[in-house]
Structure 1
Amino acid sequence: MNNKIITTAAFFGMTAIILGAFGAHALKKVLNVDQLATFETGVKFQMYHALFLLFIGLNAHMAEKIKKTILNLTILGIIFFSGSIYLLATDSLNTFNFKVIGFLTPIGGLLLITSWGVLMWNFLKKKDN
């Protein structure tokens, strides 16, 4: 499970860097300042949660079931939150109206919050040794 989590963290970290560079260079020419800031928010949250998953994968004090739950919540959260933000920020560049998927952003945010909540609950319920 740890290898899967760390591999997923590396994938999300790597793609966050790629998307950040793409936004800073290619999209800078075609998006306005607000759209770029929105895109950058998606990149930041993706990277924050890539690092979060890295922490989870390297943590030896958590049950595999908790790790799997956090992994699944975080993957879906990143896809829904950051993914929808990327599409909404670049909506003006295509003919499809991505505003119809705007409801996914808060769902993704809630999934990310829940993943952190699961981490917190896991450690709150442990007795200090």
Structure 2
Amino acid sequence: MNTLFIGAISGMTAVALSAFGAHALDGALSERAMEVFQTAADYQFYHSLALVFITLLRMNYSASKKLKWSAGFFLGGIILFSGSLYLLSLSGIRWLGMITPLGGISFILGWLMLAIFAARDYSST
């Protein structure tokens, strides 16, 4: 998986969607739906940066399965968490909210894998 490319495209998309939400959707959605949409964009952006960060780590730790798992969990979180919140805010289909926690768990697992990598494999020297 090309984590730099995916992180860059995801980051770009997060910025574009945030701007779209702030300008094109303002007044078209309820205040709560706007908050949900912005939360999706925020989490997508944070975890896009995490994917870029993992790319930098993989320059010195290319064989690390923990970093690969971390990146996969972050990408899964972006799709499940942010994706479900975007769709929920735009469509109002409430059952989409049941998918969101799966994305949150994926984000948590991504950070956990990164922490395990840091504790077991990372050397700052």
Alignment counterpart, residue 56 of structure 1, candidates 46, 54, 61:
54
* Per-residue deviation, residues 35-61 of structure 1 (Å, max 9, x unmatched): 111100000000000000000001134
Please give the secondary structure, in 2, of the residue aligned with 1:78. Answer: helix
Moved more, 20-29 or 53-62: 53-62
Moved more, 62-71 or 102-111: 62-71
Aligned equivalent of 1:76: 76
Q: List structure 1 runs of 4+ shifted beyond 4 angstroms.
A: none
Alignment counterpart, residue 118 of structure 1, candidates 95, 101, 113:
113
Give the residue type in structure 1 aligned to 2:53. Answer: F
- Separation of aligned partners in 1, 2:103 and 2:21: 21
Question: Which blocks of at least 5 consecutive residues in structure 1 are unaligned?
Answer: 93-97
TM-superposed deviation, 1:72: 1.4
Please give the secondary structure, in 1, of the residue aligned with 2:26. Answer: helix
Give the residue type in structure 2 aligned to 1:31. Answer: L
Q: How many residues align?
A: 122
- Separation of aligned partners in 2, 1:115 and 1:127: 16
Give the residue type in structure 1 aligned to 2:87. Answer: L
Give me the CA root mean square deviation. Answer: 1.7
Aligned equivalent of 1:89: 89
- Separation of aligned partners in 2, 1:86 and 1:5: 22
TM-superposed deviation, 1:111: 0.3
Question: Which blocks of at least 5 consecutive residues in structure 2 are unaligned?
Answer: none
TM-score by length of 2: 0.89
TM-score by length of 1: 0.86
Identical counterparts, % of pairs: 38
